[in-house]
Amino acid sequence: MNAVVATVSGWREFPPLELDPVLRAAAEAFVDFGYHGTTMREIARRANLSVPGLYHHHRGKQSMLVGVLTASLDDLHWRLVAADAEGEDDPVSRLELLAGCLVLYHCHRRGLGLIAVNEMRSLEPANLRRIRTRRTEMQRLVDAAVLDGAARGLFRTPYPLDASRAIVTMCVAAAGWFRPELPLSPSEVANRYVDYALSVLGRPP
């Protein structure tokens, strides 16, 4: 991952995420109808395939949900690692960049963010454990910045891990209300949420 971070720039840029046509169709349907409300026929229609044709690409709807969530987490993870590296040895800067990255992602990729928030409950136990592990890895990046800042006396909260979880939850929740037609841009929303995150940590923005 360090080699990737060293060569990748533009974590603030959000070109269309590359998904195979079936996963793209499934993701759109999950956003519109929810996992349980989405039929294989609907996914097939959106992918311009027959229902039997879907099974040449994926074992079933659960496999598609895992594929969508995995692609989303992969995309978010490299961005968070790059943002964290950009902050170097400054925990305040790292926290600001990580919080900003989370908000930008969930504004620009709000459909995928909504699936991650709403459909974790639809995962089968083994898949749920795997996806939770990936999400925990990203929470730990924020935890590390917060704990480092608290240890240096830069954050005043007496509950740094609770504050870290609250910040991640808050940033992810931007997917639930943000709309492109709103007067605030994703960058403006991210800047506001960074201020909120610093306030949670007891540090003036």
Asked, for residue 77, whether it belongs to a domain, the answer is yes
Cβ atoms of 171 and 113 within 8 Å: the answer is: no
Structural domain count, the chain: 1
Q: State how far the Cα of 11 lies from the Cα of 102, in Å rounded to an integer.
A: 11
User: Would you place residue 57 in the very low, low, confident or very high pLDDT band (cuts 50, 70, 90)?
Assistant: confident
Query: Is residue 153 domain-resident?
Result: yes
User: Which of these, 77, 60, 65, 61, lies nearest to 133 by C-alpha position?
Assistant: 77
Determine contact, residues 121/175, Cβ cutoff 8 Å. Answer: no
In a domain, 49, yes or no: no
Please say whether the beta carbons of 202 and 111 come within 8 A: no
pTM value is 0.92
Tokens coding 46: 């959106």
Domain that holds residue 136: 62-200
> Is residue 39 assigned to a domain?
no
Give the three-state DSSP class for 89. Answer: coil
Structural domain includes residue 22:
no
Neighbours of 117 (CB within 10 A): 15
Asked if residue 111 belongs to a domain, the reply is yes
Exposed, middle or buried by CB within 10 Å (0-12, 13-18, 19+), for 152? exposed
Within-domain flag for 124: yes
Q: What CATH number is given to the structural domain containing 96?
A: 1.10.357.10
What's the rounded mean pLDDT across residues 59-80? 97
Q: What share of the chain has pLDDT > 90, as a percent?
A: 92
Tens of pLDDT, residues 3-56: 334 344 699 999 999 999 999 999 999 999 999 999 999 999 999 999 999 998
pLDDT digits (tens, 9 = 90+) for 114-160: 999 999 999 999 999 999 999 999 999 999 999 999 999 999 999 99
Is 117 a domain residue? yes
- pLDDT tens-place string over residues 81-100: 999 999 999 999 999 999 99
